[in-house]
Amino acid sequence: MIDDLSAAVAFTGHRTYDGRADEALRQTVVACHARGVRTFLSGMAVGFDLAAAEAVLACRDELPGLRLVAVVPFEGQQARFSALDRARFDRVLAAADETIVLSPVYHRGVYTVRNDFLVAHAAHLIAWFDGSPGGTHYTVRRAARFGRRIDNLCPAGPAFPGPQPTLFE
């Protein structure tokens, strides 16, 4: 399980991610490790999530203590993927240090549950966010609301405002 929020990073990004930031992703993992981050959470969606998980796995041999946690929204999620993405998913899942399945079946809102879990269990969010609506937008806004550090690797993406104070915080 995720013991130390400050030593955990979560990934969020669009399913349409095309690999343009793969080297930046790897460099970001290395930089996070240098700051003491050891746990990386992937929501295991097609696109950026799987690419981020693969970047963590590629760095694991050279960076001591690096852990990948696969946060699967529901059992059998990969059945909805193309054959190629299903194979990537299966490889990442087999290599992950820990797998957390949030629901035994698909239900409306299961992806929101996954996104909330990612934000709740990491102090830092690394995103591939171009500004378009959807789950990545939701996750980035939630992370900002909870005062998480957000780094966006998408060059066309928006800047993120800092966390806003609330009356009771």
pLDDT per residue as tens digits for the range 134-147: 999 999 999 999 99
12 backbone dihedrals φ, ψ, rounded to 5°: -145, 145
The whole-angstrom distance between residue 166's C-alpha and the CA centroid of its chain comes to 26
Within 8 A by CB and 6+ apart from 12, the residues are 43, 48, 49, 115, 118, 125, 126, 127, 128, 129, 135, 136, 139, 140, 143
pLDDT given at position 78: 97
pLDDT given at position 144: 94
Whole-angstrom distance, CA of residue 76 vs CA of residue 78: 5
Nearest-10 crossing angle of helices 48-59, 22-34: 50
**Residue among 109, 114, 107 nearest 10 (CA):** 114
Percent of the chain with pLDDT over 70: 92
Whole-angstrom distance, CA of residue 82 vs CA of residue 67: 27
pLDDT given at position 169: 46
**Residue among 14, 46, 40 nearest 26 (CA):** 40
pLDDT given at position 166: 47
- List of E strands, the chain: 8-13, 39-42, 67-72, 98-101, 124-128, 149-152
> Could you say which residues of the chain have pLDDT below 70?
1, 159-169
Fold topology of 5-152: Rossmann fold (3.40.50)
pLDDT given at position 160: 65
